[in-house]
Amino acid sequence: MGMRSSARMFFLAAMVAATASCGDVIRQGQGPVVLVLNSLGGTQGNKPGTFGSPLNSDVITNVISPAPCSVDKPCPTIFNDLGQAVLSLAPKDATIAPTSNNVVTITRYHIDYTRTDGRNVQGVDVPYSVDGGATGTVPASGTFSLPFELVQSIAKEQAPLVQLRNNPQLINTIARVTFYGKDLVGNDISVTGQIQINFANFGDQ
């Protein structure tokens, strides 16, 4: 009985170790494919351009056009900042290629902002978390670029960002973005990435 008990315990321990070694990729959802986040970038809403990281998010912009805004009388304006995620699919079993049933439609996303110094109280140290809708379908092969709102304009009217309008301070954050979707047979699939965002009044050029 002692030998049988020891053998059973060894078998269970081996099974647990094997399961733990599979990694997050294999455990991602119940479907046969995983969602891959190839890149995650941001661009300023006041002068959108190439998506990249880190994002310097301007909390206030003095707009000089159209009228009645002018160089002499600029209009303080708040812009949201845009994000772009480049997504693709990968099979859990590398010998089986994804099919049309495996395409994933993204329907929503969630953003949490954190600071490296550990001061992470929402509405005091960092902006509030965000839930947003963004719809797009990731094909069985190739990539798909999904645009979304990375920083809401309302966040720049709330603490702690609103206090940056009239002081030279800068708040460094890491935005943790999770995208949620389903494949055509109803399996839930998600993926998470991170991007650095620096908040400040960067001035106008």
pLDDT value at position 205? 58
pLDDT tens digits, one per residue of 11-45 = 344 443 433 333 344 445 567 999 999 999 999 99
pLDDT tens digits, one per residue of 57-87 = 999 999 998 999 999 999 999 999 999 999 9
Return the higher-pLDDT residue of 100 and 181. Answer: 181
Mean pLDDT of 170-178: 97
pLDDT value at position 28? 53
pLDDT value at position 47? 86
pLDDT value at position 172? 96
**Mean pLDDT of the chain, nearest integer:** 87
List the chain domain ranges: 28-200
What is the CATH T-level fold of the domain 28-200, as seen in this structure? Coagulation Factor XIII; Chain A, domain 1 (2.70.50)
pLDDT value at position 17? 40
pLDDT tens digits, one per residue of 115-143 = 988 999 999 999 999 999 999 999 999 99
CA geometry: angle at 149 spanning 146 and 112, to 5°?
105
Q: How far apart are CA 127 and CA 112, in angstroms?
A: 8
Q: Kindly state the greatest CA–CA separation across the chain.
A: 91
pLDDT at 98 over 90: no
- At residue 95 the predicted structure's pLDDT band, cuts being 50, 70 and 90, is confident
- The torsion angle over the Cα atoms of residues 176, 152, 160 and 201, rounded to 10 degrees, is 110
Backbone φ/ψ region at 123: left (φ over 0), alpha (ψ -120 to 50), beta: left
pLDDT value at position 25? 42
